Amino acid sequence: MLKPLRRALAALSALTVLTAPALAAPRQQGDVLIRHATIVDVEKARTVPDQAIVTRGGAIVAVGPDKAIARDWAAPRTLEAAHRFVIPGLWDMHVHFGGGPDLIAENKALLPLYVAHGITTIRDCAGDLPYDVLAWRDEIARGSLFGPNLLTSGPKIEGLKPIWKGTLEAGSKADVDAALARLQGLKVDFVKITDSTLDPQLFLYAVARAKALGLRSSGHIPMALTVRQAVDAGLSSIEHLDYARHPGSPDEAAIAADFAAGRINRAEANRRLATSFDHATAMAAYRRFAADGLAVTPTLNGSRIIAHLDDEDHSHDAYLAYIGPKLRKTYDWRIERAAKATPAEIAARHADIERVGAILPMLVEAGVPIMAGTDAGFLNSFNYPGIGLHDELDLFVAKGLTPAQALTAATRAGPAWFGKLDRYGAIAPGKVADIVLLTANPLTDIHATRAIDTVILRGRVHDRAALDAMLAEARAKVAAWNAETAQ
C-alpha cells in the first residue's frame, strides 16, 4: 500500500532536485534597485504604485511590480523610494551660455545647477561661446565634466555684422551652404538661425537647406516673412510665444509686406499683429502647426520677467547667489532698456504679456507640442538656470494647462522633437536612467517638481544631501567671485 506512495514521493523529490536549480536561478544583476516607487506615467497622466526600477550601465533595464522585480533582480545599491513619485528627468529646451571669453568659468559653473534642479538634459540655443559649449557637450558625454546631457546648436547662422556674437555670418546662399557644412562638421544637434541682419530669403533658404541635410532648425522668424513661410520651408520649432501670435492675425501677410517694404517698423508691426489677432484665424493656423509637427517653446516666464522689470524688484532674489558677478552684469542691458520705457510703453508691455500668454492653451487645444524652456543664461535678467524651468511649468498651469500637460512639455516634448523618445521621456526598460524622485505627486500639483528627493543622471545617484552639496558648492564659487570683484 505504501509502495506506490513511496514511489510517488521519490519521483516528486527527483522532480524537486531537477527543478530546484531553476527555481533558485541566480538573480539578474543591476547597478541600482529602486524599491516601492510610485511611477508617474506622464504619457497616460496616471501613477502606477508599488513599482521597482533597475538601472544598469546608465540605462533602465527593468521596471515592474516591486515584489517580482525584487525577486528577479539584485543590485549592490538599493534605493528605498518609500512610495515617492518617480518622473523621467526634466529637459530645459531653451538655455544659453555666453557673455564673452571672460565668462567661461561662470557659465560652466551653471551646469550642476541644472542637475540639482532635476534637469537632466538641456538644449543650448546658441550664444557667443559655441565652441566651448560644444566641447562641454562632448566632455559631459564622456563623463569628464559633470553636467546635464547637453544638446547644442553650436554657432547660430546670422546675417552679416549681426548684433549677436559667435555666429556664422551669411550674406549669400553660398555663405549659408558653407555655414551648414561647418555645422555638420561640428556635429551640432540642431541649427539655430536668427535674423538681426539675415536677409529673409536667406533665412528661408537656410531652413530649407538644413532640412534637406536632415538637420532640425529653430530660430527667430524675420518680421518680413509670415510664420507659415518659415514652417513651409521646414522650420522645426518656434522659440518664444510671441512669434506664435503672428499667424493669429488675418493681416499677417500684409503686415509682413509693409515691414519688408520699410513702410512700418517692428513696434508698429507688433502692434498691428496684436490688435488684429483673431481666435478662429489662430486656431486654424495652430491646427496646421500640429499637422506639420511644429513644436513651440514659449519661454513665457522669461518674457514675463522682462515685461515686469519695472515693477518687480529682483535685487533680493535668493537665486542671485548662484549667478556670478560677470553674468549678473550682462543683466544690465535689459534693465537699462526697461528703465528708458515711458509709462505708456510699460503699460502696453504688461498688457501684451497677458495677451501672449493666452495663446498657450490655444496651441495645446490645437495639438501643438509645447516644449518647456527658460531662455536662462546670460543677458536674460533674473531668468535663473535650474529653478527657472519650475517657474515656467507653474506658469503653464496658471495659463490653463493641466499638470500632466506641463510635465509632458518638460519630459517628453524635448525627446520627441529630437527623435529620441525611444531613449527618453518615460520610466521603462531601454530608456536612459535619467530619473527624478519627488516627495509629492506632480500630477495633482505641478509645484511637486520642486520637491526633489533624488536625481539619477545616466545611472548615477545624487541623493538630497548630494544635491544640497552641489548647490552649496555653486554658491561658494559665486561668493568667491563676488569677493574678488569687490576687492
Residue span binding Zn ion (CB under 5 A) among the ranges 57-65, 116-124, 375-383, 435-443: 375-383
- At closest approach, how far in Å is the CB of 289 from Zn ion? 20
Q: Residue 395 or 443: which CB sits closer to Zn ion? A: 395
Residue span binding Zn ion (CB under 5 A) among the ranges 26-34, 216-224, 372-380, 448-456: 372-380
Q: Measuring CA to CA, how many Å separate 10 from each of 6, 13, 16, 20?
A: 6, 5, 10, 15
Q: Residue 245 or 431: which CB sits closer to Zn ion? A: 245
- At closest approach, how far in Å is the CB of 360 from Zn ion? 17
Size of the site for Zn ion (CB under 5 A): 2
- At closest approach, how far in Å is the CB of 375 from Zn ion? 4
Q: Residue 133 or 432: which CB sits closer to Zn ion? A: 133
Tell whether residue 375 is a contact of Zn ion (CB under 5 A): yes
- At closest approach, how far in Å is the CB of 94 from Zn ion? 6
The site map against Zn ion for 282-321 (x = CB under 5 A) is: ----------------------------------------
The site map against Zn ion for 95-134 (x = CB under 5 A) is: ------------------------------x---------
- At closest approach, how far in Å is the CB of 159 from Zn ion? 18
- At closest approach, how far in Å is the CB of 157 from Zn ion? 15
Q: Residue 258 or 375: which CB sits closer to Zn ion? A: 375
For Zn ion, the nearest residue by Cβ is 375
Buried b vs exposed e over 377-406: b needs ≥16 C-beta within 10 Å?
bbbbbbbbbbbbbbbbbbbbbebebebbbb
Q: Residue 38 or 297: which CB sits closer to Zn ion? A: 297
- At closest approach, how far in Å is the CB of 148 from Zn ion? 17
Residues that bind Zn ion (CB under 5 A): 125, 375
